[in-house]
Amino acid sequence: MDVATSPDAVLFVVNNVWMLIAAFMVFLMHLGFAALEAGSTRAKNTVNILFKNMAILSIGLLTYAALGFNLMYPGEAASGGVVAWGGLGLDPGADGLTAAYAEGHYTYWTDFLFQAMFAATAATIVSGAVAERVRLSAFLIFSTIYVAVVYPIIGYWHWGGGWLAELGFHDFAGSTIVHGVGGWAALVAAWWIGPRIGAFEGEGFRGHSAPLAAIGGLLLWFGWYGFNAGSVLSADPAAISHVAVTTTLAAASGVLVAAMGSWGLTGRPDLSAAINGGLAGLVGVTAGADVLGPNAAVLVGLVAGGLLLGATMFLQRIRLDDPVGAVPVHLVCGIWGTLAVGMFTEVSLVAQLVGVGAVALACLAASAALIGTLHVTLGMRVSAEEEEGGLDAHEHGAEAYGIPLSRDHETASAPAHPAAAK
């Protein structure tokens, strides 16, 4: 340690350790997203989904280092306005502890890493909505631009000191700034490229691996503690523990409503609903995890769980195919959570509405421009033959699984119940 050992110096050390660990936890959300998306879709597209998520994560981290961080946090000089720019690449000053940072709560490097992990999530949210039919190359181009330019500019509006910050908009950890930004693009993309062939025939499609989806859902919940409690941007004891509790209560409430609701409505306790209900509660509480009390957090989670069920049914009715429920989870509950802050706290509901609306307009415009351009040039969608044959076989020349038929299956004698073979 070069830092002289004063209580302030030690506090800096603690804050920095905490923020780094929170960043690592947000990193793990990417494994959560990949597992949830893969588990919620058909086996024939699994390699494609995993590859896509590895690539987005890596591209997101590198572009954020080159461009995004400087668009989103252009520095002290910038305030107000719509766009600002802090210069290319990472520049920590002489020792990574420039004056501004040394007086703050963590180093320049930690600041970058925590924010970079966030940036990569915005693009990942879109991935699930277009799964199983999007063209890999076109999607990667879209997400590279979206994460490198669109997300950081909108992030600047609120967290970088831009015009939404000046307006009094409150979005603690990003119900709108992260999940809404991803969610609007998911909506545009899913609408534009259209449903999977057969998605609305018969019972539709189911995910190919319930355990993989559950692993994804619970890793996301785990990582969300870093996402939300890390967004305190220091290790302030009351603040981070309060946020961890509101986050927990909203997630549990979302699970409960969606799990029991699906059971009550259809007679079938639905695992996907339980998983997505938890995520709905998490997205919902993200905007106000710092200012909502425990009872309000439960309420936000309960409503989010209900919205999840309603929005999922509504998308089904209007035939918008969203294989993982990205729009209900991230967009609908992101809006709900942002507005809830205006309803249950002293934050102005008008400011919340303006923020939600402005982000909506910007993201709709940017997504439509990007996706429209890619649609008429490269093509956003694979051919019907590729889709039916599976992206793994056609785009990757691979199969996700090589698991042999169960021995027990071969000797099973209960043909009436295929699911019961073993």
Positions in 16-45 near a copy of itself (CB under 8 A): 16-18, 20-21, 23-25, 27-28, 30-31, 34-35, 38-39, 42-44
Token readout for 306 is 């209900």
Q: In which residue are the tokens 């990949």 written?
A: 34
Distance separating alpha carbons of residues 172 and 343, to the nearest angstrom: 15
Draw the binding track, 116-145, toward a copy of itself (x: CB under 8 A; -: no contact): x-------------------x---------
Decide: 95 and 178 in contact? Cβ < 8 Å: no
CB of 205 to a copy of itself, least distance (A): 9
Task: Name, in order, each residue with C-beta under 8 angstroms of 385's C-beta and a sequence gap of 6 or more.
Answer: 394
Distance separating alpha carbons of residues 283 and 263, to the nearest angstrom: 22
CB of 124 to a copy of itself, least distance (A): 12
Draw the binding track, 152-191, toward a copy of itself (x: CB under 8 A; -: no contact): ----------------------------------------
How many chain residues touch a copy of itself (CB under 8 A)? Answer: 137
401 binds a copy of itself (CB under 8 A): yes
CB of 361 to a copy of itself, least distance (A): 32
3-state secondary structure of 180: helix
Task: Name, in order, each residue with C-beta under 8 angstroms of 36's C-beta and a sequence gap of 6 or more.
Answer: 128, 212, 213, 216, 217, 220, 275, 324
381 binds a copy of itself (CB under 8 A): no
Q: In which residue are the tokens 């549990």 written?
A: 252
Of 330-349, binders to a copy of itself (CB under 8 A) are: none
Q: Which is nearer to a copy of itself, 166 or 409 (CB)?
A: 409
CA nearest to 398, candidates 19, 6, 45, 141 = 45
CB of 276 to a copy of itself, least distance (A): 11
Of 75-104, binders to a copy of itself (CB under 8 A) are: 89-90, 92, 95-97
291 binds a copy of itself (CB under 8 A): no
244 binds a copy of itself (CB under 8 A): yes
Token readout for 393 is 């076989």
Distance separating alpha carbons of residues 303 and 342, to the nearest angstrom: 15
